Amino acid sequence: MSGTYNPGGEGAPIENLDQLTGYFAAGSKPADAFRIGTEHEKFGFALGDHTPLPYENGGGPSVKKMLEGLQRFGWDPVEEDGVLIALKRKGASITLEPGGQFELSGAPLETIHQTCGEVNGHLKEVREVADEIGAGFLGLGFSPKWSLEETPMMPKARYKLMKAYMPKVGTMGHQMMFRSCTVQTNLDFSSEADMAKKFRVSLALQPIATALFANSPFKDKGLNGFLSYRGHVWTDTDNHRTGMLPFVFEDGFGFEQYRDWALDVPMYFVKRNGEYLDATGKSFRDFLAGKLDILPGEKPVMSDWEDHLSTVFPEVRLKTFLEMRGADSGPWNTLCALPAFWVGLLYDDTALDAAWDLVKDWTEAERDALRLGAAKTGLHTPFRNGTLQDVAQQVLAISRAGLNARKRLNGHGENEALFLDDLDEIARTGRTRADDLIARFKDEWGGEIEPVFTECAY
């Protein structure tokens, strides 16, 4: 059967702020119920001419053909206004970003071994369908070749609203929407205090993830001057809803403070009867008071709050779990390494304490400088008496200890720490994937971008 997204407006109206706070609190769970969710995006392209995949393309390769072909593996279709826009299967989903970036949102799993199995199974399914229709997929953090004008837009109503609004609030919103790809992991917390500690540690350390996973040095067929251009793009997308959230480090931070920040982020839309109403720039606080001009007298329901929270984009995002959002997408092994990196830091109490001891005296100015520097110079970014490379090595050692302590073994008796091996080498040498791609572009590729479609394809 074909599914549809929540049409909006269903359920009881929200009557007070405590209900919004309770939404976050409901995510608390015991440590033995913690799970790992991994999401990653990739660029689809036509094998014949390396053009981006449009949604529909007659007899040629297309996003729609990918979605249709993947249904043979038990994926159920999801439609919006009769248009196939996503797939769902056993707690996982495949969705489309604005420029056709193909995203797997993985099921909540117990171990990194399971996560890596899920990633490998997904890429195998994608390759089978892609080979049949003449398509390929790239593991990079930013589109290496196609201009904005050459990049198609997917037929999802919310993207039309976002596209019109983005130029009003930043210079690079369209670059983010249509030309960037990320890998992120979603992790649980046991209480408000646990959430706050994990939020602070992971927010401070996002620049380390940006540097270690830097993989977007190309733009418009050439070098863009950054190791993580995706990371750079987020610095001027919409500063009302992005960034390093300094209030997270203030005394007393908890669900209520994040709620208040999110309430003051301007809205994008309200969904009613399956349609997206333009609410760009409007106030959710007005909505709570029944004073939203596009729905006079009507108050939001909980799905409206969930929708609104999905339109805020800080480096770490709180829902009923925490989302780590600082890394470029990349080759298959990075799709296993990112959740391993964060699970090792956040899911073992000793490791979490050690990580907090490392970052607790970092200043707001230092955290902001690291965010900017990591996108530009990666592990070579200066920090105090050394560089980000020194910090990365310390952080990876803490993460490895945390994974070792979890003692989650695969069939060969290996624990999850094996997924950090490639990151350890990057931290030891200071050479990221972006550094290697830049060297190859200048040398063996002769300044031509086309080899990237072979060398960085899944």
| Secondary structure in 3-state letters for 244-307 | CCHHHHCCCCCHHHHHHHHHCCCCCEEEECCEEEECCCCCHHHHHCCCCCCCCCCCCEHHHHHH
Q: What was the pLDDT predicted at 209?
A: 98
Sign of torsion over alpha carbons 335, 341, 344, 349: negative
Cα Rg of the chain, angstroms? 21
154-208 confidence digits (pLDDT tens)? 999 999 999 999 999 999 999 999 999 999 999 999 999 999 999 999 999 999 9
**Could you read off the pLDDT of 273-299 as tens digits, one per residue?**
989 999 999 999 999 999 999 999 999
| Confidence bin at 416 (pLDDT 50/70/90) | very high
Closest of 141, 174, 180 to residue 160, by C-alpha: 174
> What is the structure's pLDDT at 6?
74
DSSP bridge pairs for 40: 104, 183
Please give the Cα distance from 216 to 438 (Å, whole number): 10
Domains of the chain by residue range: 3-455
CB 203 within 8 Å of CB 150: no
Alpha helix stretches (DSSP H) within 111-249: 112-133, 157-165, 173-179, 192-212, 229-233
In residues, how long is the chain? 458
Between helices 349-359 and 388-406, what is the axis angle to 10°? 170
Question: What is the Cα–Cα distance from 304 to 290, expressed in whole angstroms?
Answer: 13
- Give residue 5's pLDDT: 57
Q: Residue 238: pLDDT above 50?
A: yes
* Portion of the chain with pLDDT greater than 90, in percent: 98
pTM beyond 0.85: yes
Reference 178, options 225, 221, 142; nearest CA is 142
Cα first-last separation, the chain: 30
The answer to whether residues 321 and 188 touch, using CB atoms and an 8 Å cutoff, is: yes
Amino acid found at 88: K
pLDDT band at 7 (very low <50, low <70, confident <90, very high): confident
Where are the alpha helices (H) located in 73-149, listed in sequence order? 112-133
Cβ atoms of residues 154 and 63 within 8 Å: yes
Phi and psi (nearest 5°) for 141? -85, -15
Q: What is the mean pLDDT of residues 220-249?
A: 98
Q: Based on DSSP, count helices (H) and strands (E) in the chain, helices before strands.
A: 17, 18
For residue 433, the tally of other CB atoms under 10 A from its CB is 25
Q: Is the dihedral of CA 5, 11, 13, 19 positive or negative?
A: negative
Using the predicted structure, report yes or no on whether residue 411 has a pLDDT greater than 60: yes
User: How wide is the angle at C-alpha 29 spanned by C-alphas 395 and 103, nearest 5°?
Assistant: 65
pLDDT in tens, 419-450: 999 999 999 999 999 999 999 999 999 999 99
What does the pLDDT look like over 303-312, one tens digit per residue? Answer: 999 999 999 9
183 and 213 Cβ atoms separated by less than 8 Å: yes
Position 4 pLDDT exceeds 90: no
Banded model confidence at residue 1, pLDDT cuts 50, 70, 90: very low
What is 3-455's CATH topology? Answer: Creatine Kinase; Chain A, domain 2 (3.30.590)
Q: Tell me the pairing of strands 242-243 and 313-314.
A: parallel
Tokens encoding 128: 């089978």
Measured CA to CA, the distance from residue 119 to residue 18 in angstroms comes to: 38
Model confidence at 2: pLDDT above 50: no
What are residue 186's DSSP bridge partners?
Answer: 37, 323
Give the separation between CA 435 and CA 14, rounded to whole angstroms: 50
